[in-house]
Amino acid sequence: MIKACELLHKRNIPCFAHTINLVVQDCLKLHCLAFLLSKCKSTVKFFKNSTIMYNKLKEAQKIEKKYSLKQEVPTRWNSAYYMIDRILNVYDAINSVLLMVSKAPPPFTADEINLLKDLAKLLSPFESATKQISSSTTVTISLKIPITCGLMHNLDKIKNNLTTTEGLEAYTCLIDGIKNRMSKYEERSLPRIATLLDPRFKKQGYRSPFNAVQGEKLLENELASLDSLDSDQPEPLTLTEKTTKTSQTLFEFVQNNIQAVPRTKRSNAILELRQYLLKMNSEEDVDPLKYWKYNEGALKVLAEKFLCVPATSTESERMFSKAGLVISNRRASLKANHVDMLLFLQKNDWIN
């Protein structure tokens, strides 16, 4: 995809959801976490490979809602977090069953449980970020910069609640990953402008004030270049119906002064942009497209141009997952064209 963009002379913005997953995967490869994650996967595999053990696990859960275990798969985003979170929900039942079986994997120790709790705290913000940025029906280009800032802010707060040295090491790795892989989005023109045009964030969605100022300059230049931004002199104020054309008014000099004020596209752009940025930010659940639907002005034209859903690997990953569910052991003889039709119908069943 990068090579295609180079040949076509198109600007390339990497898939943000995939970038988030790369940051998490780098953390999970740490030597201090490798043994524990391997143990978690072995434990889940032990229960999933035996119907008897799985039934004993559900019987050992002293709660009304019985949880099933989830296995971590590197190609499935956030699957490690889901595996850890589910183990933490039922680790008492897991340990009680493992202690009763002679050839079972060793149960989890208190230190291992504490480390899993630290990992769950650290990975939770990334799971939330992936869900928000993976939408294909709402604007996501304006979320890249605020999500990066939000992850940094949340990790800083979580750091004070970590109880293990391995957890602190994982925190450092995640912070470095965000700085190396995700902070660069704040230096790209398109995310800068889109963040400013999102009424939920504006200049407050940036981590660096310098980048916010640079984004404002870019937006001002785009606004000044619009043909719809009128640069002509304003029409003279009409006199009231009671006055005649030859009569003089006491405040006629005000009209003359207004006409004398120079009006250019640049000054109109600065004025409209300043008025927009000084307004109160919208609530977090506001759809930016609906906001601009009911707000007129030259900025609306730019909102239609820049607020978009950038091309990502999210939909292709979803399609691969759906194909894996369609082609099961019981449907292994499906012809390729039938698989294509089933997937096409599933992805387009929302069309009436």
For 119, the token pair is: 């990992």
Residue-wise pLDDT tens digits, 34-69:
999 999 999 999 999 888 888 898 888 887 778 889
For 46, the token pair is: 């032990």
Per-residue model confidence (pLDDT) at position 283: 92
pLDDT-based confidence at residue 248 (cuts at 50, 70, 90): low
Per-residue model confidence (pLDDT) at position 242: 47
Q: Does the pLDDT of residue 323 top 90, yes or no?
A: no
Nearest to 116 by CA among 78, 159, 95, 86: 86
Per-residue model confidence (pLDDT) at position 137: 82
| Separation CA 110–CA 318 (nearest Å) | 37
Q: Does the pLDDT of residue 231 top 80, yes or no?
A: no
Residue-wise pLDDT tens digits, 133-163:
988 888 999 999 999 999 999 999 999 999 9
Kindly list the domain boundaries of the chain, sorted by start residue.
2-187, 208-232+261-306, 314-347
The 10 Å CB-count burial string (b at 16+, else e) for 100-118 is: eeeebbebbeeebbebbbb
DSSP class per residue in 144-190: HHHHHHHHHHHHHHHHTT--SHHHHHHHHHHHHHIIIIIGGGGGSHH
Per-residue model confidence (pLDDT) at position 145: 94
Q: 3-class DSSP state for residue 63? A: coil
Q: Is 185 within 8 Å of 211 (Cβ atoms)?
A: no
